[in-house]
Amino acid sequence: MLSTLALKYCHQILFDPKFLIRKVFKFKKLPIIVRMLIMQLMDPAERFALSLTSKRMKANVK
């Protein structure tokens, strides 16, 4: 479903040190309205990467 370019982009967001600020970004602590606005501004690859990081964080908490 996702193109290889989108997957490479997701990998870059998740693992490239330049993109570490996105991991540190406290997305869950923002108000829901602000979260929705940010989600609309993101492209699908970023949305996918964000969902992966949030799932990974939940797994680490357990």
Q: For residues 48 and 10, is the Cβ–Cβ distance under 8 A?
A: yes
pLDDT tens for the chain, 62 residues: list them. Answer: 456 666 666 666 556 555 555 555 555 666 666 666 666 666 677 777 777 766 555 555 54
pTM score over 0.85: no
How close are the terminal C-alpha atoms of the chain, in Å?
30
Compute and round to an integer the Cα radius of gyration of the chain: 12
Q: How many CB atoms lie within 10 A of CB 27?
A: 15
DSSP 46: H
Per-residue pLDDT, 1:
43
Q: For residues 19 and 13, is the Cβ–Cβ distance under 8 A?
A: yes
For the chain, the average pLDDT equals: 61
